[in-house]
């Protein structure tokens, strides 16, 4: 977490989506060999139980708060740059 926290200006727990869940989502996407962020978003929307296991929050209505594809892309390509590992 200390390494991941370097890429955030807000304290842990104050971000829009939990940083641990975002990191796990990145690893999940690679493990599932999902190439496109849009497909990752669709997959998590279709499988909310897996999104919960990754650590995404549940809103007041009981729906899982899943980041859109652009947020997923931003996390991997801008916030967390690991070009050598991701290739």
- Tens digit of each residue's pLDDT, the chain (87 residues): 877 777 777 778 888 999 999 999 999 999 999 999 999 999 999 999 999 999 999 999 999 999 999 999 998 887 776 544 444
Q: Which two tokens stand for residue 54?
A: 């990754």
pLDDT given for residue 86 in this prediction: 47
Distance (Å, rounded) from C-alpha 29 to C-alpha 54? Answer: 11
| pTM given for the model | 0.83
The reported pLDDT for the residue numbered 6 is 75
pLDDT of residue 2: 79
What span, in angstroms and rounded, lies between the C-alpha atoms of 36 and 73?
Answer: 9
Ordered alpha helix ranges (H), 1-87 = 2-5, 19-31, 37-46, 48-54, 69-74, 83-86
């Amino acid at each position: 977490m200390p390494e991941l926290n370097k890429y955030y200006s807000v304290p842990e727990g104050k971000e829009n989506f939990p940083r641990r869940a975002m990191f796990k989502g990145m690893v999940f996407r690679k493990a599932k060999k999902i190439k496109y962020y849009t497909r990752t978003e669709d997959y998590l929307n279709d499988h909310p139980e897996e999104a919960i296991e990754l650590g995404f929050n549940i809103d007041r209505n009981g729906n899982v708060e899943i980041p859109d594809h652009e947020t997923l892309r931003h996390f991997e390509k801008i916030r967390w740059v690991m070009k050598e590992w991701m290739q």
